[in-house]
Structure 1
Amino acid sequence: MCDNHDDGETAAIILCNVCGNLCTDCDRFLHLHRRTKTHQRQVFKEEEEAIKVDLHEGCGRTKLFWLMALADSKTMKAMVEFREQTGKPTTSSSEACRFCGCRSGTELSAVGSVCSDTDCQEYAKIACSKTHPCGHPCGGVKNEEHCLPCLHGCDKNATALKQDADDMCMICFTEALSAAPAIQLDCSHVFHLQCCQRVLENRWLGPRITFGFMSCPICKNKINHTVLKDLLDPIKELYEDVRRKALMRLEYEGLHKSEAITTPGVRFYNDPAGYAMNRYAYYVCYKCKKAYFGGEARCDAEAGQGDDYDPRELICGACSDVSRAQMCPKHGTDFLEYKCRYCCSVAVFFCFGTTHFCNACHDDFQRMTSIPKEELPHCPAGSPKGKQLEGTECPLHVVHPPTGEEFALGCGVCRNAHTF
């Protein structure tokens, strides 16, 4: 039993040459001070061989004294960490680095013991310098209004943590939460600050705007924290821009009361904005930085556009107005669209300062630009890659010059209003 408890029930797991038999909590508290850190401690053999299993919201975890294994059932990622043999007497006078656990070359700083490793030194610059009443350093970042609760679970009155210091950051899944300064999002989940920043800086994959990166990897609620405000504000502004334009297009196409929105139980029930943003593909103009329409998302998926693209070629209709189309008196240039030069699709890319491409034709632009104009398919010409379609009706429902010539479709919203 633990010599520091009077209840006669608390089991001891460690023998200290000065303090006697101690439980986990007493060992942690009594050996926080510099004077007691050098005590020789021996873990009981039974505890060395014991296996502890934790099932947290982020991942499942199996702990032994010499090994820790984690697994995430959703992503099928797993990690095994071999730990220092804690069964050996602890006599080292040097303190372990608070981030990586290394005992060589550590120096005492404002945020605790930190080694000379470059990453750890960078972490020390942004880490909170406060210490919790339990003696553990705050695992959060400096200048927060409210400190991150102790990741070791010492403060029982704090907001319930769904993770602890040994849990992996579910963004990087390479280091424990205690290995770098972390933040607790509004949804209560904890991640490394730099991992959150990297996700928001990298944004979406590929040319098409998507906002899945804004969601918490665990609960899918929107990422939000005061420290991330400078990164989140322009993203939220872009989100509202895409949302407004997608809703306006949905309404002009007469789809704002379609069954995909009004039928109970469907994915976008009573969510016209979600349906519109899922239906239409929008891109960020390299010049004006505004979102512009590039066709339906299903066409984007069929084209198979990958990550290999030049963002400088993503130019909206207003910034690539080579034919000097008339400005819409109602919507200005916000919805100005161009036809792909090689098929009857809405253009997404503007290349060479002269040519508009849809996704599919841009994927094979070398072949498309080498085809003689007289050999190009006539209207209706479909995607992918200038395929000749049957019939006489243009997919864009407009009369336009022969394939191979630039043509401004005009205001996309007004054009759809006339079509429907």
Structure 2
Amino acid sequence: MILCEECSSNLCGECDRILHLHRRTRHHHRTVFRQEQEAIKVDLHEGCGRTKLFWLLALADSTTLKAMLELRGENQRSRGSVAASTCRFCGAPAQPSLLSPAPVCQDSDCQEYSREACVRTHDCGHLCGGLKGEASCLPCLHGCANTPSLKQDADDMCMICFSEALSAAPAIQLECGHVFHAHCCRTVLTRRWPGPRITFTFSMCPICKVRISHGVLTELLSPISALFEDVRRKALMRLEYEGLHRAEAISTPGARYYNDPAAYAMDRYAYYVCFKCNKAYYGGEARCDVEAGLGDEYDPRELVCGACSDVSRAQMCPKHGTDFLEYKCRYCCSVAVFFCFGTTHFCNACHDDFQRVTNIPKTELPHCPAGPRAQQLEGEECPLHVQHPPTGEEFALGCGVCRNAHTF
């Protein structure tokens, strides 16, 4: 917006260019509104491009391919400042109360945020955007103080929900330095991984991929860390017994998993959480999980480890107990992942197509070697390298670790 003092008019950039092309008007004294000039910013924050105008905020994240446009009103422009007339979270009209000195509107979300939000005021006059009871307050998100550890500001979107600015809810700064809404972090850690296979991407910072760590999240992070160590231990043990602990992907300089056998093992093998004992159990290689195409729609009650679904009374391993007890899929030569109907073990692919495979007459089922979805494979060698009953019958493979130790 441009103010022409001689024309006494407010003009946009295009009108200013046209109206002042004439030689009689081109020398008019014109100025850009100061408030407009200070608000115009184009920058890149932690991989998120941002264009900030007096009335518009536009953001785009190239990693997640998410974008957002926000038309900013007068209330939103003053968000975060100490004002008695606007809500500290959404910018709607509000009044402070005895229970909440900082102004909060009657919206249910804002009321919920106010119950855990810090009410301290920074030296610059802005309210703290962190949580109540923290030993040290979250640095001012408005850039008023010299805070080199703070990589984001109040107008940045929370990169977890990507629907609200960081100032729109109480936020926390993780040990990696990045800031997110506290309730978004709790939601991600509570929901955990998508689909049946255990993955730990959800427990990493969305920006720098460092493990999430913060004092207020300790209760949620403790069982996740314990599960991570359990899966890591079992994956490394299986990798060693299969003779792959010196694979090229680990031993070759410059390779993706160079000197990191744990990451290689956890990416190579698929593990699931048993619904009955809550322990992680092996369910085949991860590539089989991908090929099966199993989505988020599954019944977690059907994810049962070999020990808890022992319908054929497999012998307990004297060395490893029941931790690595495995079953063969009833309809193919694959390691079973699901235990359904209290009687039947399925691999991922056969479980995804269970209505068809369970209706195939036993006499028409493929003989060994049988592929996923009850498909006949060529050749004579069984993918499991074991002698087993005909397809269509339950069979316990026994201890998976010892079985692989004998195989290799």
TM-score (norm 2): 0.88
Give 2:304's aligned residue. Answer: 315
Give 1:266's aligned residue. Answer: 255
Is 1:76 the counterpart of 2:65? The answer is: yes
Give 1:127's aligned residue. Answer: 117
- The aligned runs of 1:4-403 (5 Å cut-off) are 45-48=33-36, 51-85=40-74, 95-104=85-94, 107=97, 109-110=99-100, 112-156=102-146, 158-383=147-372, 385-403=373-391
In 1, Cα distance between the equivalents of 2:52 and 2:247? 53
CA displacement, residues 324-378 of structure 1 (integer Å, 9 cap, x when unaligned): 1110000000000000000000000000000000000001111111111111011
CA displacement, residues 265-317 of structure 1 (integer Å, 9 cap, x when unaligned): 11100000000000000000000000000000011111111111111000000
Give 2:16's aligned residue. Answer: none
Contact 1:345 1:396 in 2 (8 A): yes
Q: CA 1:46–1:147 in structure 2 vs 1: closer, same or farther (change >3 Å)?
A: closer
In 2, Cα distance between the equivalents of 1:101 and 1:365? 53
**Partner of 1:283: helix, strand, or coil?**
strand
In 1, Cα distance between the equivalents of 2:231 and 2:69? 42
- The Cα RMSD (Å) is 1.8
Deviation at 1:44, TM superposition (A): 7.3
| Corresponding letter in the other structure for 2:266 | M
| Corresponding letter in the other structure for 1:301 | V
CA displacement, residues 109-157 of structure 1 (integer Å, 9 cap, x when unaligned): 435111111000000111112221222111001121221011111221x
Candidates 391, 396, 401, aligned match of 1:413: 401
**Partner of 2:282: helix, strand, or coil?**
strand
In 2, Cα distance between the equivalents of 1:56 and 1:225? 22
**Partner of 2:358: helix, strand, or coil?**
helix
CA displacement, residues 38-75 of structure 1 (integer Å, 9 cap, x when unaligned): xxxxx973433662212211412212211111121222
Contact 1:108 1:114 in 2 (8 A): no
| Corresponding letter in the other structure for 2:315 | Q
Deviation at 1:107, TM superposition (A): 4.2
Deviation at 1:108, TM superposition (A): 5.9
Contact 1:55 1:61 in 2 (8 A): yes
**Partner of 1:47: helix, strand, or coil?**
helix
**Structure 1 segments (4+ residues) deviating >3 Å:** 104-111
Q: CA 1:191–1:131 in structure 2 vs 1: closer, same or farther (change >3 Å)?
A: same
Deviation at 1:94, TM superposition (A): 5.0
In 2, Cα distance between the equivalents of 1:146 and 1:364? 54
Give 2:10's aligned residue. Answer: none
| Corresponding letter in the other structure for 1:398 | V
In 2, Cα distance between the equivalents of 1:209 and 1:52? 42
In 1, Cα distance between the equivalents of 2:52 and 2:292? 47
In 2, Cα distance between the equivalents of 1:74 and 1:396? 40
Of the structure 1 ranges 71-80 and 203-212, higher mean CA displacement relative to structure 2 is found in 71-80
Deviation at 1:98, TM superposition (A): 0.4
**Partner of 1:370: helix, strand, or coil?**
coil
Deviation at 1:160, TM superposition (A): 2.5
| Corresponding letter in the other structure for 2:190 | E
Contact 1:261 1:270 in 2 (8 A): yes
In 2, Cα distance between the equivalents of 1:68 and 1:393? 62
Deviation at 1:321, TM superposition (A): 0.2
Contact 2:86 2:95 in 1 (8 A): no
**Partner of 2:398: helix, strand, or coil?**
strand
List runs of 5+ in structure 1 lacking aligned partners.
1-42
CA displacement, residues 163-213 of structure 1 (integer Å, 9 cap, x when unaligned): 001111011111100000000000000000001111111111110001111
In 1, Cα distance between the equivalents of 2:149 and 2:257? 32
**Partner of 2:121: helix, strand, or coil?**
coil
| Corresponding letter in the other structure for 1:400 | H
In 1, Cα distance between the equivalents of 2:64 and 2:54? 26
Contact 2:89 2:167 in 1 (8 A): yes
Give identity over the alignment, percent: 75
Of the structure 1 ranges 331-340 and 374-383, higher mean CA displacement relative to structure 2 is found in 374-383
**Partner of 1:295: helix, strand, or coil?**
strand
**Partner of 1:410: helix, strand, or coil?**
strand
| Corresponding letter in the other structure for 1:189 | H
CA displacement, residues 6-41 of structure 1 (integer Å, 9 cap, x when unaligned): xxxxxxxxxxxxxxxxxxxxxxxxxxxxxxxxxxxx
**Partner of 2:298: helix, strand, or coil?**
coil
How many residues are paired up?
371
List runs of 5+ in structure 2 lacking aligned partners.
1-30, 78-82
Q: CA 1:117–1:57 in structure 2 vs 1: closer, same or farther (change >3 Å)?
A: same
Contact 2:47 2:63 in 1 (8 A): no
Contact 1:111 1:137 in 2 (8 A): no
Q: CA 1:174–1:59 in structure 2 vs 1: closer, same or farther (change >3 Å)?
A: same
